[in-house]
Structure 1
Amino acid sequence: MELTFGRRALFAVVCAVAVATVYAAQPVLAQVGADLGVPDAELGWIVAAGQLGYLAGLAFLVPLGDLIDRRGLMVGHLGLAAVGTVLAAVAGRTWLLLLGQAIAGLFAVVVQTTVAYAAALATPDERGRVLGTVTSGVVVGILGGRVAAGALATAWGWRAVYSALAALLIGLALLVRTFLPPDPRTDHASYRQALASLGRLFGDQLFVSRGLIAFFLFASFGTLWSGLALPLGSAPWQLSTAQIGLFGIAGLAGALGAARAGRWADAGLAHAVTGGALVLLAAAWLAIAQASWSLWLVGAGVLVLDFAVQAVHVSNQHLLTAAYPDRTSSVIGGYMIFYSLGSGLGATATTTAFAATGWTGSSILGAAFAACALLVWTFSRRSAPRGAGLRHSPYRTAPAAACGAAGASGQRERCGARQA
């Protein structure tokens, strides 16, 4: 079926709000610490609780999308994520806030169910465009959510952030139930079989190569966004938190501009887009490294970096959902495990590098992660035999003749997945 603009927009908004529940704590940590008496050294656990819940959800909840009605799953997960944000909003003790964060993060994996469902509903010819639109919502949630959370906390306190998220999650659950079509699939596999299927993906070359690219891609992304406040808040700039947040607008513009990557992927250019975007990613760090003397170069570098990250992310998901159309939830959930681990590595490593060698060291680290992703892309392209990575795909038996000039859309999709 062809997805209408309204349904694509709803998918994107669900992604934006759900992912914002994981990152909402970052700009309000100081307020939370002052209110609940949390020492500065322990504030990181508030963010970590959401991230750990999210990681658990990727492994154990997302595969459910290959077994049961994904519309119903989205409604349930949105409602349970709202429960977590309500607990966080009313928390009078740290342990209750951590519990709320963990629950919200656990069910924030509705993002991956949403992406997988959108990809499954889209026709092969529009899948890339749909993925570009829907995953743009993730970027809005990560970058724009921080700006919105900071503004709400400044006006009404940190509890207002979680209260607003709870209201939005409940409202979206009702909209999903009303306006999205039910999932027509009937899959009689067991939950254990779904988990086993997810595990087998880690032995597949296409999945692992795209996962490793995502790992290094988001390690580079995490290096930037977890470390950028350090040089900008120091001499000679000494920018305020609000001023530093404005760089998120440049990143948001770059990432939204990469929604076009979905159309390029539909045209069979996903592999070329990945390589070109990874080159841009490495080059962006040359500009970002100049933070000691030029904010304009930093802004330009942030824009290019986020464009590159989103372009690769959309291309990766396009190739994987085309190769594994029968289990899009499992493949997206497994792929995002690489994303989560890479983001965590970048966030941890950038502060260590900055403490040792300043922003120059962090920039070299970010560029090195980008170079590693480019090496994985190059090596996987050269070493993959024809049809590699499609052992578990129903397309693996597509005859070579299907890659001819004339063919139905299904043949073109098989050919595109094979050549990826």
Structure 2
Amino acid sequence: MSSHQDISQNKPLLWLMAIACGLMAGLNYYCQPLIHSIQQYFAVPESQVALTVTFAQVSYALGLLFLVPVGDIVNKTKFIPLLMFMAAIGLLLCGFAVNLTMLWIGTVIAGLFSVAAQVLIPLAAMAVKPEKTGEVVGFLMSGLLVGLLLSTSLAGLLSNLFNWKVIYLVSSVFTLTLAFLLKSRLPQVSTFKMSYIRIFQSMAHLLKEEKRLIYRACVGGFVFAAMSILFSTIAVLLTSEPFNLPDVLVGTVTIVGVFGALATTKFGKIADQGHTKALTWIGISILALSWLFLFMGERWLISYVVGYGLISLGLTMVHTSNQSIIFRLRPDAKSRINAIYMTAYFTGGACGSALGVYAWHHGGWPMTCLAGLCLVFGSAFFAALDTIYQTRKQKVIIEESL
């Protein structure tokens, strides 16, 4: 198990960890509001540049699958700064890119190693008392989601003020600084003696034995896919008629999502009190409603902004519930459980962003919105399976105790 440290009272460290989570998560989304600028800079088709979003998410999913589980068997205090250092190298490559291929290589390297955030979160879950898990993980998730949402605004702003490359160069410096600050401050937690191959065998066992992990991973994958449709289409929709917004304003639209992200700690406390089922279903309902506003957002910008805010809020509620549930399944396998869950989550994201591009080209905005709504129904299906499974399990426990 973990050491006896409890970092829940160490606010400066928690803030550093939350900022690191935000920076690591956000760097995969810089290209979203910049697609038009990058396309003009390299003089290549916009559809090629839009692939950068998908590359970022696919490489992130690979990092989740192959790097995050290592967090259970190595010294996290050395592993996390190393991952951040490698991510900074990827960012530098993007910042000095002379062609689209170099930007893609930098994006893949940065995406692969930006999973440092997903090693930080299980580390925090191991270094707090069980009753504080939801609250502390929620705080780090707030940092992660705020970083994710502000990244597009900052990328758009710096692009308009200077050049689209500036955000990558500034981020690489910040990443190196944070890696250095965290190196001596991260708590020591015990690791497990296990080979790299053995990790994947144990992950296969987890999938066999923990049905709830599968259901919740699918719920997470579907809700993030629904949100990711917006990631790959926001620039295309808002830079064309009737809006014709510049990069900086495309990025600013996403700021509304920060309000949902800031509520993560509050949702974490609610989840700690055992209200995960209610949180999940309210979140899914909000996600379904958001697509109605987004559909009308083709004509009215305010409707798009409201829809974006709602989808962010719904996603936060569902994701917080999911993490509260999965981290309680096996306290000795938090990194591996997080790896399985987040791999499904970001694989969903990559599929969602690719589906967004496909739907846009084959049926415009109405088809894009229909695809988003279908993904929400997919998440509801797996949430229903999870509810049925949990109800049956509790029934068996009650019968056995009688």
Q: Structure 1 length normalisation: TM-score?
A: 0.86
Distance of aligned partners of 1:43 and 1:287 in 2 relative to their CA distance in 1, 3 Å threshold: closer
8 Å contact from structure 1 (residues 53, 106) kept in 2 = yes
Taking CA–CA contacts closer than 8 Å with sequence separation of 6 or more, which of the two structures ends up with the larger relative contact order?
A: 2
Distance 1:232 1:249 in 2: 15
Superposed displacement of residue 230, structure 1: 4.2
Q: Say yes or no: does 1:107 pair with 2:110.
A: no
Unaligned 5+ runs, structure 2: 1-5
Q: Which residue of 2 aligns with 1:11?
A: 17
Q: Say yes or no: does 1:81 pair with 2:53.
A: no
Distance of aligned partners of 1:346 and 1:25 in 2 relative to their CA distance in 1, 3 Å threshold: same
- Name the Cα RMSD after superposition: 2.4
What letter is aligned with 1:198? M
Distance 1:48 1:214 in 2: 18
Alignment of 1:164-243 (within 5 A): 164-181=170-187, 183-203=188-208, 204-243=210-249
Distance 2:394 2:113 in 1: 35
8 Å contact from structure 2 (residues 85, 176) kept in 1 = yes
Distance of aligned partners of 1:228 and 1:84 in 2 relative to their CA distance in 1, 3 Å threshold: closer
**1:290-336 CA-partner distances (Å, limit 9, x unpaired):** 12443333322221211110111111111111112111111111111
Distance of aligned partners of 1:88 and 1:356 in 2 relative to their CA distance in 1, 3 Å threshold: closer
Alignment of 1:18-417 (within 5 A): 18-181=24-187, 183-203=188-208, 204-384=210-390, 385-386=392-393
Distance of aligned partners of 1:166 and 1:262 in 2 relative to their CA distance in 1, 3 Å threshold: same
Distance 1:12 1:330 in 2: 21
Superposed displacement of residue 41, structure 1: 4.2
Distance 1:23 1:242 in 2: 14
Distance 1:226 1:79 in 2: 27
Distance of aligned partners of 1:163 and 1:114 in 2 relative to their CA distance in 1, 3 Å threshold: same
Distance 1:116 1:106 in 2: 18
8 Å contact from structure 1 (residues 231, 291) kept in 2 = no
Instruction: Identify the range of structure 1 (321-330 vs 297-306) with the bigger mean alpha-carbon deviation.
Output: 297-306
Superposed displacement of residue 45, structure 1: 4.2
Distance 2:341 2:203 in 1: 10
Distance of aligned partners of 1:33 and 1:247 in 2 relative to their CA distance in 1, 3 Å threshold: closer
8 Å contact from structure 1 (residues 28, 153) kept in 2 = yes
8 Å contact from structure 1 (residues 80, 104) kept in 2 = yes
8 Å contact from structure 1 (residues 53, 103) kept in 2 = yes
Aligned residues: 391
Superposed displacement of residue 93, structure 1: 4.2
Superposed displacement of residue 370, structure 1: 1.2
Unaligned 5+ runs, structure 1: 389-398, 404-420
8 Å contact from structure 1 (residues 80, 103) kept in 2 = yes
Q: Structure 2 length normalisation: TM-score?
A: 0.90
8 Å contact from structure 2 (residues 154, 251) kept in 1 = no
Distance 2:300 2:101 in 1: 43
Superposed displacement of residue 33, structure 1: 4.0
Distance 2:298 2:83 in 1: 44
Distance 1:173 1:151 in 2: 25
Instruction: Identify the range of structure 1 (167-176 vs 33-42) with the bigger mean alpha-carbon deviation.
Output: 33-42
8 Å contact from structure 1 (residues 217, 369) kept in 2 = yes
What letter is aligned with 1:347? S
